[in-house]
Amino acid sequence: MGGHLDLRPVDGPLPLTGADDPWMRAWISTRAPMALDAAYLGLLADCLPPAVFPTLTAPLAIPTVAFSMHITAALDDPEPAPVLVHTRNISTSGGWSVDDTTLRDRNGRLLASARQSRRVVGWSAR
């Protein structure tokens, strides 16, 4: 995926750093220009690692079980541009993890929100 994306972290903790806060924020775009449509936003909503990753120091398998996305604005930007993707973990326990993600344009307009439920494999601490 990294060969197809331009991913620029903005602030917040980085994955696998043992941070206290389970969230990440980055400007993301594709290297080859793509139209700003629902498919593009769906791709970007799933680009960042699971939001619990900043609290970890080693990777785990955390596959998506359910993904939903809600478009919240007209997708009328004539030029492809980076999208600000902010994902945060709202719950991780009992082998399950849930992330909420927002996607905003360069003017701060909310384009979409997404939620992912994931199964945490091989980690019994949470």
The answer to the question of residue 37 being in a domain is yes
Q: Minimal CA–CA distance to 23: which of 100, 82, 114?
A: 100
Decide if 125 is inside a domain: no
Which residues lie closer than 8 Å to 7 by C-beta, 6 or more apart? 26, 27, 28, 47, 48
In a domain, 20, yes or no: yes
CATH number at residue 56: 2.40.160.210
Digit-coded pLDDT (tens) for 58-79 = 999 999 999 999 999 998 776 7
pLDDT of residue 81: 82
Question: What is residue 86's three-state secondary structure?
Answer: strand
27 located within any domain: yes
Helices (H) and strands (E) in the chain, counts: 1, 6
For residue 29, the enclosing domain spans 5-119
State pLDDT tens for residues 5-17.
999 999 999 999 9
Q: Is residue 126 part of a domain?
A: no
CB burial of residue 111 (10 Å; 0-12, 13-18, 19+): buried
Share of the chain above pLDDT 70, in %: 96
In a domain, 48, yes or no: yes
pLDDT for residue 28 is more than 90 = yes
Total domains, the chain? 1
Q: Is 62 part of any domain?
A: yes
Say what the pLDDT of residue 125 is.
54
